[in-house]
Chain A
Amino acid sequence: MTLLKIAKVFSTTPGPRSESEGPFSGQLFRKTVLAPAVTKAIEQNEILTIDFDGTEGYGTSFLEEAFGGLIRNEKISHAALNKHLQYISKEEPYLIEDILEYLCDAEKNIEQAK
């Protein structure tokens, strides 16, 4: 089991959706931290636990871009994410439900586009 604590490995102040909008974006987080960690967890058949606590707070676009983007941009399947990802968010428990929804939406959008 591997832990990825966003406040430690990325930033205590996660920012907007894309890099052009401002620093510490969801796009940057996905590309440099989340996607490599998820890929490694899948390859090694491990569980990756993502800990959201300890930051200043998240914008919805950051989360959507980071997690929805795993399916949309990194082409990782929804099923693989469900199998290899776990979440901790004691400070903001509603984040987990939102993220699961973003993953479903991203998958549906890809299916609709086909």
Chain B
Amino acid sequence: MRAYIKRIIAKKANKQWKRKLKWKAGKKQKKRYKSSLDSLHSQLNHTYNIQHANFVKIRPPKNFSFVANSNEVIGFINKVFECFLKRQKLFIRFREVEHIEYDALVVLLSILVRFSSHNIQFNGDFPVKRLPAAVLKSSGFFEYLYEKFMIRDSYVLNAKSRIHTHASKHVDPSLGKTIIRDSSETIWGENRRSQGVQRAFLELMQNTHNHAEIGKEGDKHWWLSASHSKSKKKVLFSFVDFGVGVFKSLDSKKEGSKWGAWKKLMPQKHKYSNNAELLKLILNGELHKTVTDKPYRGKGLPGLKLLLERNQISNLYIITNDVKADVKNDIYNILDSNFSGTFVFWELNEQNLSCNDTFKDSESIFNDSWSEK
């Protein structure tokens, strides 16, 4: 009996010993792997540092979303812009980024095209995390950047990616048709028209053409980007120009002119203490009403709020100078940093108004048609 117990104990001890040896070997292997990885990383870092020694390295915020993290993204954009102005080579370290939205990529893209067109070198890496890396790759962002850009009036960045980007200095009504058709396929699975989105395009393009640069028309590019989400049946639109922005444009109105009187008239009729409160008044048509003494009829940037109210678009955000407006939720905030330009973001989804691609012809009820003469 005793011999039997001894045998069992010996067998157990043997098993334990073997398990310990296996664990030790595994630990040794892990240690070896880690040290080789460290050395690989350090080698890569070394190569990276040598290759990009004279590049300015800038890290985007971990949450790289212009709408959700406006302050940090503006801070980052301003740094990138500073590099451009100083003609410094730029390396963007996406490595630590945890979340990426297309709205921020579009803004960055519109600046990096300037680097390319002015022959200023730039480069970047990918986020370590799988999800933001996938967003960055699927956006076609780097494919765009490998293209050689020249300084010109319009750009079409339409690679096989999820963001389709167009830029121009002029009002381009036919572009809207193409973008809306593509969007309606994603949302409704058929060709439809969205007069609301087309009006948003026209008002914003015209706004950039006429007001982005003080005293000069058609001087600044607008950038329009549509990112499609087939699974959520929606398309997100980002429109950006790097003009002077709403408030600087207003400040530049000459005294004695019709719109120059706003500075005097607005405080007499309305109470506001900062630009956030002023933007709310502007979007409600109060600036127009005060200056012209007439009801507001939806012109320009404030007209976008009407589109939201008519359910022609959803989730409207406006960022300009030091203000961010979440128009749908009526939240207007002052930002820490100044964004030199105007950024407008909205969504088109299944619930928004749209029209069939074919329309009922009214000609049959008329005896005569001007078009046939």
Contacts and interface: CB of A to CB of B under 8 A. Distances in A.
- Most interface-central of A57, A60, A90, A94 (chain B CB within 10 A): A57
Nearest to A99: B297
A56 B369 contact: no
B343 to A, nearest CB: 20
Interface stretch (B82-90, B194-202, B316-324): B194-202
B218 interface: yes
Nearest to B359: A54
A17 interface: yes
Interface string A74-110: 0000000000000010111010001001100100000
Contact of B171 (A15, A54, A57, A91): A15
A21 B362 contact: no
B298 A57 contact: no
B195 A2 contact: no
B206 A17 contact: yes
Contact of B362 (A22, A24, A51, A55): A51
Contacts of B298: 60, 98
B195 A58 contact: yes
Contacts of B359: 7, 53-54, 91
Given A57-B176, A59-B202, A22 B297 contact: no
Contacts of B367: 1
B248 interface: no
Contact of B174 (A2, A21, A23, A58): A23
Interface in A24-57: 24, 37, 48-49, 51, 53-57
A61 B196 contact: no
Contacts of A58: 195, 198-199, 202
B171 A1 contact: no
Contact of B195 (A17, A57, A105): A57
- Most interface-central of B172, B362, B363 (chain A CB within 10 A): B362
Contacts of B209: 16, 21-22
Given A4-B370, A5-B371, A21-B209, A13 B195 contact: no
B294 interface: yes
Contact of B194 (A1, A57, A64, A105): A57
25 contacts: A2-B370, A3-B363, A3-B371, A7-B359, A8-B371, A12-B177, A15-B173, A16-B209, A21-B217, A22-B171, A23-B172, A53-B360, A57-B194, A57-B195, A57-B198, A58-B195, A59-B203, A59-B206, A60-B203, A60-B297, A60-B299, A98-B297, A98-B298, A101-B295, A102-B297
* Shortest Cβ-Cβ A-B pairs, 5 listed: A57-B198, A57-B195, A59-B202, A22-B171, A16-B171
